[in-house]
Amino acid sequence: MDAKYCIISRRSVRKYSPEPVSEETIRKIVDAARFAPSWKNTQTVRYYAVYDQALKEKIAENDTLGFEFNRKTITRCPVLIVLTSKKNISGYEKDGTYSTPMGKHWQSYDAGIATEALELAAFSYGVGTVTLGIFDADRVGEDMGIPDDEEVSGLIAMGYPVKQGVAPARKSVDELLSFVRSSKD
């Protein structure tokens, strides 16, 4: 499967077939995702693959800020990936100060890149995913028992899709892209 096909064809999947996603498949997906770029190659992202239905339901009920779609998605997905980041590394100097005026931004940036890599890898194995942004990270961290030196950066629901979704409209290249040249170019 070529990269452009994956990037264009991946869709957010919120309805899953009952077919389980094996640990072996999750391993293969993370084996690819771990090659995502990161701040100074610090690789601060960690992946927790939650199969425990009771725990998924706890997160769905308590931690989705009343957003019904996400409550249902988390309850129904065969696997929930809780993506965490090791704190105070990405975007930081060794003495604990920020490396740039953008502060903690780079930790989230790394988590975003890692999420896209994970989702594209999953797609290449036929596994559907959706990034979930509406949740309470601290509460998920508590419910999961995440270590103190990590914080929750994202949730990704995962499972085999019931059907292939249609892409929501995208902006045109002309709207998104500006070329910047000197007057001599």
CA distance 128 to 130: 7
In this structure, how many other beta carbons lie within 10 angstroms of the beta carbon of residue 35?
Answer: 11
Nearer to ligand FMN, 70 or 90 (CB): 70
8 Å CB contact between 22 and 83: no
Interface with ligand FMN (CB under 6 A), residue from 108, 131, 136, 160: 131
In this structure, how many other beta carbons lie within 10 angstroms of the beta carbon of residue 176?
Answer: 8
**Does the protein bind ligand FMN through residue 133 (CB under 6 A)?**
yes
Give how many residues touch ligand FMN by CB under 6 A. 14
Under rule CB under 6 A, which residues in 19-78 are in contact with ligand FMN?
A: 69-70, 73
Nearer to ligand FMN, 9 or 22 (CB): 9
CA angle, residues 81, 87, 54, in degrees to nearest 5: 30
Interface with ligand FMN (CB under 6 A), residue from 29, 77, 79, 132: 132
CA dist list (Å): 31 to 26, 35, 76, 164, 168: 8, 8, 25, 24, 29
Nearer to ligand FMN, 99 or 108 (CB): 108
Which positions touch ligand FMN (CB under 6 A)? Answer: 11-12, 14, 69-70, 73, 130-134, 165, 167-168
